[in-house]
Amino acid sequence: MRLLITGGLGLLGKEIEQVFDRSAGIRTTDREEWDVTDPAACRREVDGFRPDVVIHCAAYTAVDRAESEAAFANLLNVEGTRNVARACRERGALMVTFGTDYIFDGASSRPYREEDPANPLSVYGKTKWAAEQALREEGGDHLLVRAQWMFGPAGKNFIRTILEKARRGETLRVASDQVGCPTFSRDLAGAVRKLLEAGARGTVHFSSEGETSWFGLARHVLERCGLPTGSLFAAKTRDLPYPAPRPAYGVLSKEKYRAITGVSPRPWEEAVGEYLEMIDPEGGAR
């Protein structure tokens, strides 16, 4: 399987590259090599490499900044996705790309299923929902994997930020009224591989198993690393200074993923533990 990756230097892009067999050929691109907002560049890349599968990881992911950069977020997420989808359809390549729980409004009382209605609250969520629609409108062969609360070795993430702030002795006020499930980028990359091996198409949800709040995750991380929790406080979202509204409940149902692949994701505590061992081997993470 020849594989072409966009956004290859991002949190997910870096992991995707690691989980596939390289013998048939993998080309990972960054923004310098392939700007997905340029339709001609999309055609040139797909024509040039002739992939069986394009894994489109490039995206605008700055959830709060998007509130004041809507046009740019839209260009990258919606038009970028449309450009890649069109080039894939024209060349008969399968397109794999990623969605988010932020397309939902958080009013559900059970984990969101793939067919549940979208009602995004934020600019980022709206661009990601519009990107899904652009992908479907293009009508090519595709797999869309919705995920949430991602962390991993590349770049910044909530867990790393919490650890750094705690070590500096800062007071931490963290939302206890947003519930979701932390997901290791490495696990998501592995899930993409399993889904492709199973011939999955359409929309599939993936995250770790279980659920927690951002506050619950922060407390878990500090306890696991042997750090004091006295400076960590539960806060209401409305009292925190984040511009983008977020769903109060965004847990994704993994029923379809399990039915397709025959495997269950691991619990989030296990995934977080593995990540902490990686980034903080001396820090008492057990």
Ligand X SMILES: NC(=O)c1ccc[n+]([C@@H]2O[C@H](COP(=O)([O-])OP(=O)(O)OC[C@H]3O[C@@H](n4cnc5c(N)ncnc54)[C@H](OP(=O)(O)O)[C@@H]3O)[C@@H](O)[C@H]2O)c1
Q: Minimum CB separation from ligand X for residue 61, in Å?
A: 4
Contact assessment for residue 134 and residue 181, using Cβ atoms and an 8 Å cutoff:
no
Among 4, 5, 7, 103, the residue binding ligand X under the rule CB under 6 A is 7
CB of 180 to ligand X, least distance (A): 9
Q: What's the min distance (Å) between Cβ of 100 and ligand X?
A: 4
To 10 degrees, the CA torsion angle through 112, 116, 118, 120? -20
Angstrom distance (rounded) from CA 53 to CA 27: 11
Q: Taking the complex as a whole, how short is the minimal distance between the CB of residue 284 and ligand X, in angstroms?
A: 26
Q: Is 9 in the site for ligand X (CB under 6 A)?
A: yes
If 0-12 CB within 10 Å is exposed, 13-18 middle and 19+ buried, where does residue 276 land? buried
Residues in the chain: 286
Q: Which of 60, 124, 249, 275 is catalytic?
A: 124
Distance CA 83, CA 250 (A): 29
* Cβ nearer to ligand X, comparing 227 with 244: 244
Of 30-38, 161-169, 173-181, 259-267, the segment contacting ligand X by CB under 6 A is 30-38
Question: CB of residue 38 vs ligand X: minimum separation in angstroms?
Answer: 8
Number of residues in contact with ligand X under rule CB under 6 A: 26
CB 125 within 8 A of CB 67: no
In angstroms, the CA 13 to CA 64 distance is 21
Near ligand X by CB under 6 A, which window of 31-39, 214-222, 245-253, 257-265?
A: 31-39
Rounded least distance, CB 282 to ligand X, Å: 26
CB-CB contact of 59 with 9 (8 Å): no
Based on the residue annotation, tell me whether 60 is a catalytic residue of this protein: no
Phi, psi angles (nearest 5°) of residue 139 = 80, 15
Among positions 158-217, residues that touch ligand X (CB under 6 A) are none
Q: Which residue is nearest to ligand X (CB)?
A: 10
Site for ligand X contains 95 (CB under 6 A): no
Instruction: Compute the distance between CA of residue 99 and CA of residue 145 in angstroms, rounded to an integer.
Output: 6
Phi and psi angles of residue 82, each rounded to the nearest 5 degrees, phi first: -60, -45
Asked if 149 is part of the footprint of ligand X (rule: CB under 6 A), the reply reads yes
Indicate if the alpha-carbon torsion angle 10, 75, 20, 149 is positive or negative: positive
What is the spatial distance between Cα 151 and Cα 96, in angstroms, rounded to a whole number? Answer: 20
Query: Residues 116 to 145: which contact ligand X by CB under 6 A?
Result: 128
Q: Which is nearer to ligand X, 9 or 227 (CB)?
A: 9
> Residues 32 to 91: which contact ligand X by CB under 6 A?
34-37, 57-59, 61, 76, 80
3-state helix, strand, coil in the chain (%, to 5): 40, 15, 40
Interface with ligand X (CB under 6 A) = 6-7, 9-13, 31, 34-37, 57-59, 61, 76, 80, 98, 100, 128, 147-150, 155
Q: Residues with catalytic annotation?
A: 124
